[in-house]
Structure 1
Amino acid sequence: MSADTRAPAARRRRRTTLIVALGVMVAVYLVSVLLYAVGGQVTDAEGDEPEKWDVKLSVVPQSVDAVRDRVTMQIDVIEAGPAGDGFVLNETLGVLISGADGDRMIEFGSSGVASPVAVELVTDGVVERWPFDSHVGETSIIAYRVVDGEPEALRTWVSASGRVPGWSIAAEEIDLGLQAEFDGVSEGVDVVQFTATRSGSTIAFGIVLLGLMIVMPVLVLSVAITVYRGRRRVEASFMSWMGAMLFATIPLRTFLPGSPPIGSWIDFLIVLWVIVGLIGGLAIYVAAWFRWSPRQDAG
């Protein structure tokens, strides 16, 4: 093949590579936007309305603290039942919440419209598995009122809704065999299980950022090895570029969504070796500088 025919073929290959790279970048961008748009929702698997219920409560997750294993939720009265008219209370309505951190009994006063109350649900998860960690918490919520000085349990319908940025939360009713007495009759009480997982957009963001971190030592090592072999001229200014890459590693690490704790698997499998690769590339480039730079005559 002559030089005249090789040149157009090389240009076509470069053009094809550029088009494919741009296509991949656009596809990744569109997927990230789509995942962000559909993520962060609270999925309520409550099913149909219960046959019997006295009080309806709304549970809206507000935030997830993966390090402390806590989910902050806001509880509001939708239907007060015998304790009021709609969401307007005529008497004090109490709510017993299992699995909560701190006070497990809250009260909505009888002064009119009930104000939402924030509680923290204790969850179980391993944050070091970021971004594939899952945090699960279970709670049973039973409303009650005081009649003749004695608490009277009310059948409680709990619905979950809302949106937590960066998280996908599923609420599911499960039967653990709990019993409570309503109107003198013992009935089963469902437990609501909340499962918090990272949203697809958060996972995509983290994977892309980790991929960019991996690219840095690859570029540095490619340049350093090429220069050391004498295929490119030594440029001392490239050392500052490599140093900038090295100092950018930690800011990129702290920019990961959800702030994975120090000591996560990404530190041992990715971040550590990114730093090793960058320092190794810098060392090879310094060796190339000593090898190929012209020596100055002393004196």
Structure 2
Amino acid sequence: MQDTDGAVSQRKPWRAASIALLVVALYVVVVTIYGLGDRARALDTREPSASGALVYLDFVGVDGANFSIDARVTVYPGQDLVDDDGYLKDDLVVDVSPLAAGDRLEYVAGTTPGAGPVTLYADGDITRWPFDVHDAADVAVRVTSESVRGSIPIATDVAVTDSLSGWNVRADDPDRLSPQSFGVTANRTAGSVIFALALCVVLLVLPVCALFVTVQTVRERKKFQPPMVTWFAVMLFAVLPLRNLFPGSPPIGSWVDYTVVLWVVAGLVTAMGMYVLAWWRQAP
């Protein structure tokens, strides 16, 4: 008997060490995936042609609820379009479409072009979070020079970049035409998806723990503890804050509500009801 107890006691440190190693391994995997998803991008050193313009379309936000993608437009005119001091010789107009909000960007002669915001229309279904994909099709960037001679199209190179965290943005190579037309696709990074699924697992653990405690109490393997009712209530009210941590804030009614959140709440309420039943059965 003593040998058996000794063997069990020897296995306990190994179990603790194994659990600790598993936690460390999971931590390393999560951090590695996050690091790979947000690795540094190569520096873009392109320059505009002498008589053309270089337009940077930097995506800064995805709003699936409003079917839009936010971007910041930065224009670099060629040498023939500016004077010796770097100011525009004529008015410059940048027209980006299809716009969901905002208007074209206009730069007055005698000034230097700056960055301006645009909001593009993007088709997608945010209720499929975190596997939602948003597409902006037929994005066109057109630059024209406005002068007394009229509107003159400017040959334009478009560079697509993204400053989004947690998103992958891919753009088709635009043809060197005026206007240029290409498609943009945005989907969540692997790190963002794993984080979302991890939060779902955390939510699912709550009713599992609550039901385990309740079943043991109902079967009278454990005594009823009145303070445990507060524990059930705390877990029930923790569901909404945890759901609000979901990256991208999926709207109410997304698939995650029907497949995870609803059943988590139902499990917690069931556990609380069964625990009250255990109190009734064990009450003097």
TM-score scaled to structure 2, two decimals?
0.87
Structure 1 stretches of at least 4 aligned residues deviating more than 6 Å after TM superposition: 41-44, 48-53
Q: Which residue of 1 aligns with 2:217?
A: 227
SS of residue matched to 1:131: coil
Quote the Cα distance in structure 2 between the aligned partners of 1:142 and 1:17.
64
Q: Which residue of 1 aligns with 2:185?
A: 195
Greater CA deviation, 7-16 or 201-210? 7-16
Query: CA 1:109/1:50 → structure 2, altered by over 3 Å: closer, same or farther?
Result: closer
What 5-or-longer segments of structure 2 have no aligned partner? none
- Partner amino acid, structure 2, of 1:260: P
Q: 1:66 aligned to 2:56?
A: no
Query: CA 1:121/1:62 → structure 2, altered by over 3 Å: closer, same or farther?
Result: same
Residue deviations 1:33-74 (CA, integer Å, cap 9, x gap): 233334357989x9x999997211111112221211211111
Residue deviations 1:132-151 (CA, integer Å, cap 9, x gap): 11111131112111354421
SS of residue matched to 2:124: coil
1:20 to 1, 18, 21: 18
Residue deviations 1:191-246 (CA, integer Å, cap 9, x gap): 23221112233222211111111111111111111111121122111111111111
Aligned partners of 2:68 and 2:119 also within 8 Å: yes
Quote the Cα distance in structure 1 between the aligned partners of 2:131 and 2:10.
41
Aligned partners of 1:93 and 1:143 also within 8 Å: yes
Q: Which residue of 1 aligns with 2:168?
A: 168
SS of residue matched to 2:136: strand
Q: What pairs up with 1:77-226 in 2 under 5 angstroms?
A: 77-84=75-82, 88-138=87-137, 139-173=139-173, 180=178, 190-226=180-216
Report the Cα offset of residue 248 of structure 1: 0.8
Query: What value does the CA root-mean-square deviation take over the aligned residues?
Result: 2.8
Quote the Cα distance in structure 1 between the aligned partners of 2:48 and 2:90.
24
SS of residue matched to 2:159: strand
1:288 to 258, 264, 278: 278
Quote the Cα distance in structure 1 between the aligned partners of 2:15 and 2:136.
48
- Partner amino acid, structure 2, of 1:292: Q
Query: CA 1:88/1:41 → structure 2, altered by over 3 Å: closer, same or farther?
Result: farther
Quote the Cα distance in structure 1 between the aligned partners of 2:11 and 2:212.
21
How many aligned positions are there?
Answer: 280
What 5-or-longer segments of structure 1 have no aligned partner? 181-188
Aligned partners of 1:43 and 1:160 also within 8 Å: no
Report the Cα offset of residue 280 of structure 1: 1.1
TM-score scaled to structure 1, two decimals?
0.83
- Give aligned-pair identity as a percent: 28
Quote the Cα distance in structure 1 between the aligned partners of 2:165 and 2:113.
26
Aligned partners of 1:174 and 1:191 also within 8 Å: yes
Aligned partners of 1:74 and 1:117 also within 8 Å: yes
Aligned partners of 2:51 and 2:80 also within 8 Å: no
Quote the Cα distance in structure 1 between the aligned partners of 2:274 and 2:101.
57
Q: 1:6 aligned to 2:11?
A: no
Quote the Cα distance in structure 1 between the aligned partners of 2:145 and 2:49.
21
Query: CA 1:38/1:204 → structure 2, altered by over 3 Å: closer, same or farther?
Result: same
